[in-house]
Amino acid sequence: MDQRRAGLLEAMALERYVLRGGPADSIIEPVMAPTVAVVAPLPTSTTNRSATATVRSVRPLAAPAPGAAAGLQPPPETADLDWVGLEAAVAGCRRCGLCEARTQTVFGVGDRAARWLIVGEAPGPDEERQGEPFVGRVGQLLNAMLQSIGHPRPTVYIANVLKCRPPSNQDPTPEQVRQCLPNLQRQIELVAPDLILCVGRVAAQNLLGVDTPLAQLRGKVHRFGAAELAVVVTYHPAYLLRSPSEKRKAWIDLQFALEVANGRRAAI
Ligand code: URA
């Protein structure tokens, strides 16, 4: 393993495994489990955007979907908004009960022309206080994950499914998602990223409109919206803080996401 790669693993705080009986400094790198490899290399002349001959988990923006977000219809007023209008609409939103207790909304942060868009679940207390997604320890781990794959935080766009903090870290309700998801949809349309990285089950299930377990969503290229943007799913950094041994799997997911974003993998 070269020094750069070792540094990236360090940045993500992944454990190093020294081979017993092997060279003192040999490190076993995580390997993709064959059971989750459902993608094929792209022909070299094909870009990831055009590689949609066969797709999985396709859901047009306004189409009914099987999961929690079924029947989602972005209100026309949201669908047409530019960044200024969308930010103002979110700041003044009263479409669900979460507006009653919030101190401020958490819109999203980052490069509005980013190649990668990160989708989380909902702001927590730290995020509500600072008005920015993924701050505090969870945010620091997300930053390290992004840094480790060469897409540091300032180069990506980060947004949540919900823009208001649910009380006591409760999972978003279907109604809250139904009311709020159009805002994220519009953010995705405006950024038009090469890749959407969903962190955690709740973000992935609600964005894709499925109730598939996270383990089955990993290692696949899903597609979102009429533009069929590539979506890859990995663990939530809060979960990784609680279960550090799972970081190796997250590393595999991030390598997979890189390959998808760089057009080296596509859905079969
Ligand atoms: N968890 C999330 O999903 N989003 C945040 O912004 C913070 C924590």
Q: Residue 260: is its pLDDT beyond 60?
A: yes
- Region 7-26: what's the mean pLDDT? 43
According to the model, what pLDDT value does residue 11 have? 56
pLDDT band at 36 (very low <50, low <70, confident <90, very high): very low
pLDDT per residue as tens digits for the range 78-89: 889 999 999 999
Span from the CA of 47 to the centroid of ligand 1 (angstroms): 31
According to the model, what pLDDT value does residue 102 have? 97
Q: Which helix (H) or strand (E) holds 99?
A: helix 98-101
Q: Which ligand 1 atom lies nearest to the CA of residue 203?
A: 3
Q: Residue type for 180, please?
A: C
pLDDT per residue as tens digits for the range 119-145: 999 999 999 999 999 999 999 999 999
Q: Which residues surround ligand 1 with Cβ inside 6 Å?
A: 120-124, 127, 133-134, 138, 160, 238
According to the model, what pLDDT value does residue 9 have? 60
How many percent of the chain have pLDDT more than 90?
68
Q: Residue 253: is its pLDDT beyond 50?
A: yes
Specify the long-range contacts of residues 42-45, CB closer than 8 Å, at least 24 apart.
42/263, 42/264, 42/265, 42/266
Q: Residue 32: is its pLDDT beyond 60?
A: no
**Two tokens at 60?**
């047009």
Give the orientation angle of helix 136-148 with respect to helix 3-11, to 10 degrees. Answer: 160
Contact 101, 140 (CB under 8 A): no
Q: How many C-alpha atoms does 138 have within 13 Å on its Cβ side?
A: 20
pLDDT per residue as tens digits for the range 184-214: 999 999 999 999 999 999 999 999 999 999 9
pTM assigned to the model: 0.78
Domain ranges of the chain: 1-30, 34-261
Span from the CA of 72 to the centroid of ligand 1 (angstroms): 22
Q: What is the mean pLDDT of the chain?
A: 80
Span from the CA of 5 to the centroid of ligand 1 (angstroms): 27
> Which residues are CB-contacts of 192 (< 8 A; sequence separation ≥ 6)?
227, 229
Q: Which residue has the higher pLDDT, 31 or 88?
A: 88
Integer Cα distance of 101 and 167 in angstroms: 8
- Identify which of 132, 138, 165, 242 to mutate to test ligand 1's pocket (most ligand atoms within 8 A of the CB): 138
pLDDT per residue as tens digits for the range 152-190: 999 999 999 999 999 998 999 999 999 999 999 999 999
According to the model, what pLDDT value does residue 156 have? 98
- Region 27-54: what's the mean pLDDT? 34
> Which residues are CB-contacts of 163 (< 8 A; sequence separation ≥ 6)?
90, 93, 105, 106, 107, 123, 180, 183
Looking at ligand 1, which residue's alpha carbon is closest to its atom 6? Answer: 133
Q: Which ligand 1 atom lies nearest to the CA of residue 158?
A: 6
pLDDT per residue as tens digits for the range 98-115: 999 999 999 999 999 999
pLDDT band at 265 (very low <50, low <70, confident <90, very high): confident
Domain range 34-261, CATH architecture: 3-Layer(aba) Sandwich (3.40)
pLDDT per residue as tens digits for the range 70-79: 344 556 678 8
